[in-house]
Amino acid sequence: MTERAETTRGTAEPHDGTALAAPTLDAARDPGRGAGTTTAPKAPGLTAAEVAERVARGEVNDVPVRSSRSTADIVRANVFTRFNAIIGVLFAIILVVGPIQDGLFGFVILANTLIGIVQELRAKRTLDNLAVIGEAKPTVRRDGRGVEVSTNEIVLGDLVELCPGDKVVVDGTVTESDGLEVDESLLTGEADPVLKHPGDTVMSGSFVVAGSGAFTATKVGREAYAAQLAEEASRFTLVHSELRSGISQILKYITWMIVPAAIGLVLSQLLVEDNDPDEAVRRMVGGIVPMVPEGLVLLTSIAFAIGVIRLGRKQCLVQELPAIEGLARVDVVCLDKTGTLTEGGMDVTEVRPLGGADPAHVRQVLAALGGSDPHPNASLKAIIDAHPAEDAAGWRCTDTLPFSSARKYSGAAFTEPDGTESTWLLGAPDVLLAPGDRTLAEADRLNEEGLRVLLLARTSRALDDPALAEDPTATVPVALVVLEQRLRPDASDTLRYFAEQNVSAKVISGDNAVSVGAVAAKLGLPGAESTVDARTLPDDREELAAALEDGTVFGRVTPQQKRDMVGALQSRGHTVAMTGDGVNDVLALKDADIGVSMGSGSEATKAVAQIVLLNNSFSTLPSVVAEGRRVIGNIERVANLFLTKTVYSVLLALLVIASQVPYPFLPRHLTLLGGLTIGIPAFFLALAPNKERARPHFVRRVMRYAIPSGVVAATATFTVYLLARHHYTGPGALAAETSAATLTLFLVALWVLAIVARPYTWWRIGLVLTMAGAFVVVLVTPFLQDFFAVRLVGTVMPWTAVGVAAASAVVLELAWRWIGRRFPV
């Protein structure tokens, strides 16, 4: 009766032990049964004592639902890293040879690690709290009453109730079935729903697409099928992330560079250069420490964690962290109409009798249909509100056909008060009527106004007669039910945002194409005037992809077609996001690059989606996109800084080895330079707003800039260092040479920071100037001069350093601009 079946039990089933039950196929043998009346008592389920006994025996569904890594995992991941081990060993060496200021890098790494742990724990707490809010609450029957319990509170033998959209959370045997159809595609790959009868088995991980019923739990906990596959833990594990995999790839390259460079540097400083052993060790450590881009991994984790926290404040549950990144890469978003562009509720605005039908009789039929369904969807709820069950007094339901998205209609058979047997259908006019029927023209005119139109039709066929779906002439139109859909007030602004961000929006709905197009047009979606009936779409994937590229609004889309559409778009290289809240969206959500579910959606959709909008607000999506772009764009910025440092550190080590001279820096110099040109600026840049669209080829793009920048910085620094070695003589010469080299490297690295910080805003300019000012303070403050061992001697070499740095800045500008034009990816 509508394109989805919603899972709001409260309206039709109060769970008080006398709830209106689904009319079973045995109801024909119950002459006293009528629409809107209570049914014969159902199986009462377990008693409280039986539940307690099973809990004591451990027969409980104790599979943990993890929303994030455990605290121990977070601490372990932040502390026990390859690079922390390297830094820790070097820090221990400095503690032995001293002084402590050369070991500052150890305290910096400690602070960074603690910050990373704290931020991830905050993100974990946010995820855990949101996961509890969005957790599935199955209904079990105990002591004759339906009660909602947490998934891990189900015990062996519990009688679990099912209605459309519910996810089967444990394995069991069907005990009650009223047209119960279960989709097992997520387990078996078979897309066709399976009709379940009493005695049939149901497996955890499947979900209900039509009908209702109940099953007895036969396997719980780790014995359940889905638990054996993955213990349901996949919901919060990390899916593929180009950003994370790219950084891992970079770190692998760096490791291979560090090992030979570090070995050569150790041998050079300890064996080749006739230095004081302690001084040689300090300079050896000073050469190795900056090669390690430890802060890059830290800031990536912090950026993701803060993204989770920010979105959590907006009631957005990110079930898989890289989904933040994934949505930022999306260039096509497929939107389901009902529940996404429109709110769930509807209102009946008019009932138009056809062919001289008696309006009073039509009202009774609609009331009887409403009373025959214990789990009404949005359309039927509107009909129930307009035509309560009291209007169908004396009508007895003898058979039912639940609504399904594939059929597009539902039905029921009745014995009317005068003893007449009648069978009625309610659903899509263009499905129930033959092409060219004059009633369709009237329905189309209403659809063009953005109204939703259902056809009430009478048939002489049985409800389970397959000819109903194959022969529209088997139905006689009786009335058109006109419903008005409530548009989401924030949908128009959200669609406008996607258009401004060059993200194509495709509306894919099971409703009539003309009606969907009218709704989309009201919201200002470009291309909404050209609608496509999905029944005319080709089956060939390539042809389907071409049709999707040209169209914007698609109606009468079946669940399988939604899935095919996602695959066709992906075959064209698109990154596809799919939004939805009904069971007919599950397959497409599962296959999309990013699945987004509404918090009020079915348990099945929330289980497969990477992002759940708990506040049901479509307007939250731009925040998710913006957060993803902030993470990706800013990590790329800071990656340029960190990898530039790694490149110039490795190259300087190689030049020192080849020249057989002391390494130009002590660890304290690199701590100072790293903090002012990388560490502090990177922290602010990584958390700043960033609306740049995410682009692919992260590693390639970062290395194209970092390698030439590092080469220029190393070349300029080593040139000044060699000039200083010829200029200065006598005691203190090495300190003077080091100071000149430090000034050069700082100025070149500061210019790299100035380039990375573009486009400029007031705070970014202030950030660069603040870092420059901090270095000047070090140069002019005696205490800091002594602490960091930086004292410029004379005027020749300091000005030479400034000149070489200025020339290097020009080279950097030319190199970055040439790379930007030559390699625009």
Sequence-ordered list of residues with C-beta below 8 angstroms from that of 546, at least 6 positions apart, any chain:
none
CA distances in angstroms from 91 to 104, 107, 288, 666, 818, listed in the order given:
9, 9, 11, 13, 40
Sequence-ordered list of residues with C-beta below 8 angstroms from that of 808, at least 6 positions apart, any chain:
712, 713, 715, 716, 747, 748, 751
Look at residues 42, 36, 24, 37 and name the one whose alpha carbon lies nearest to residue 179. Answer: 24
Look at residues 558, 456, 326, 400 and name the one whose alpha carbon lies nearest to residue 33. Answer: 400
Tell me whether residue 222 is exposed, middle or buried, using C-beta atoms within 10 angstroms of its C-beta: 0 to 12, 13 to 18, 19 or more: exposed
Q: Within 13 Å of residue 167, how many CA atoms lie on the same side as its CB?
A: 22
Sheet holding 332-335, edge to edge: 316-318, 611-613, 594-598, 576-580, 332-335, 504-508, 553-555, 531-533
Q: Using alpha carbons only, how large is the chain's radius of gyration in Å?
A: 34
Alpha helices per DSSP H over 467-584: 467-470, 491-500, 513-522, 541-550, 559-571
Q: What tokens were used for 555?
A: 């109606």
Give dist(CA 805, CA 796) in Å, integer: 14
Residues 147-181: b if buried by 16+ CB within 10 A, e if exposed: eebebebbbbbbbbbbbbbbbbbbbbebbbbbbbb
Look at residues 602, 38, 25 and name the one whose alpha carbon lies nearest to residue 371. Answer: 38
C-beta neighbour count of 706 within 10 angstroms: 23
Question: Do 736 and 724 touch, CB atoms closer than 8 A?
Answer: yes
| Beta strand pairing call for 576-580 and 553-555 | unpaired
Give dist(CA 333, CA 506) in Å, integer: 6
Among the listed residues 158, 178, 183, 336, the single catalytic one is 336
∠71-74-77 over CA atoms, to 5°? 150
Sheet holding 409-415, edge to edge: 342-353, 475-487, 452-459, 421-427, 409-415, 396-401
C-beta neighbour count of 699 within 10 angstroms: 18
Task: State the residue for tokens 């601490």.
Answer: 75
Question: Do 745 and 673 touch, CB atoms closer than 8 A?
Answer: yes
Question: Do 699 and 249 touch, CB atoms closer than 8 A?
Answer: yes
| Beta strand pairing call for 139-142 and 145-148 | antiparallel
Q: Is 192 a catalytic residue?
A: no
Sequence-ordered list of residues with C-beta below 8 angstroms from that of 708, at least 6 positions apart, any chain:
812, 815, 816, 819
Residues identified as active-site = 336
